[in-house]
Amino acid sequence: MTGNEAGGERLAVPPAPADGAAPAAGAARGRRPAITAALGGALGRQGSLTRLVLAGVLLAAALWALNGGPFLNLVGQACAVYAIASIGQSVLIGSAGQIALSGAAFMAIGAFVTGSLADTPLETFPVPLVVCAVAGWLVGLLSGLPGLRFRGLYLLLSSLALQFMVTALTKNYQSEYHPAGLVVPPLRIGSLDVSGGRSLYLVLIAVLAIVYLAVALTERTGVGLAWRSIRESEVAAAVSGIDVVRWKLYAFAASGAVTAVAGSLLAYLVGRADYATYDLNLSIALITMIYIGGVRSRLGALTGAVVITALPYVLQLRLSGWLTELGLSANWYTENQSIANAGLFSLLFLLVVLFEPEGIEGLLGKAERSLRRAFGGRRAAEGAAES
């Protein structure tokens, strides 16, 4: 008689699992709580719900434009192009904290380089995008040289000088060789014509996704950390061992490369490169986009680009009817749309700077904090009642 039997106890030996099903089920049960906990932890951080809402709205808008009619598709194409340009400006202004009003100049560089590559061995897509990115990178390095000595208003004025220089050069070149603008050939990928409709929209969305991911991955490395340090304080960054000169130049160069790619895509979208398109008003519009959406966020830059790009189309379609219902005449707006839109963008920019510097993302962030406080207080009250 064994000791267990003498003590009146029997050790229960569990049956062997059949075909390993029990361990697999246990592992699955273990994974589910882990995934749930990770998801809950991600959503529990402040700002996560705001980013989720913005991403959901942007995705819904992209799908709406894809499945809509030709007009909606055209609006979606324009939004995609200006979203790329706004990401380029966000790298410089939002990440590195350097102010510039030369975004339209880099878009002009991309457009005119694309037009100049027509009827050459380099016109095959996506070679023009690569050439434009290199050209934007080099000009961005040169434009960053004043930023090594100037800050604030003086840096802004130096960027205006670049804008006027590029405008003068492209105007003279166009007047001399292409009075009607440089004709850009239809966009083709191999033998596939993607120069319009849904096919062009999908190409623009694909390029936007690549640019977004490339910038996001870059900013998650030491490069992004250096840019953020420079944005907060150049003196503190230098004391910490960061090469301020090097990384400021790289911020200008990266911004110029991305913005030039947007200019190339805009030339493909319009079908020609015209210097009048890339004026100071466009530079102001690009700045307005990132400040309205959220100056320190890529999702904010995308949101601002969609709002500022789509708003004129909405006003063009709806404003006349709204004014007529109010008994007012819409003739002035119809005849002066560009002036009215520029004034509206300036007003929106002023309101954002004065009352909500973080833009749309900042407003949503405040709403998220209010919700978290409300639900947190409710849970605390319920816990106190139970105890």
Q: Bridge-partner residues for 183, per DSSP? A: 272
pLDDT of residue 257 exceeding 80, the answer is yes
- Residue 192's φ and ψ, nearest 5 degrees, are -95, 125
DSSP labels, 320-361: HHHHHHTT---HHHHH-HHHHHHHHHHHHHHHHHHH-TTHHH
Residue of 298 and 48 predicted with greater confidence: 298
124 three-state secondary structure: coil
pLDDT of residue 379 exceeding 70, the answer is no
Work out the pLDDT band at 365, boundaries 50, 70, 90: confident
Work out the pLDDT band at 43, boundaries 50, 70, 90: low
Q: What sections of 117-240 are H helices per DSSP?
A: 127-144, 153-177, 197-219, 222-232, 234-239
The alpha carbon dihedral of 74, 76, 78, 81 has a sign of negative
pTM of the predicted structure, to 2 decimals: 0.83
Distance separating alpha carbons of residues 110 and 265, to the nearest angstrom: 8
Host H or E run for residue 192: strand 192-193
pLDDT digits (tens, 9 = 90+) for 263-296: 999 999 999 999 999 988 899 889 989 999 888 8
Q: What is the mean pLDDT of residues 148-164?
A: 82
- Residue 328's φ and ψ, nearest 5 degrees, are -110, 160
Structural domains for the chain: 52-317 (1.10.3470.10)
Mutual angle of helices 298-325 and 48-67, in 10-degree steps: 60
Q: What is the mean pLDDT of residues 19-27?
A: 51
Distance of CA 259 to the CA centre of its chain: 11
pLDDT digits (tens, 9 = 90+) for 56-100: 999 999 999 988 888 899 999 999 999 999 999 999 998 988 888
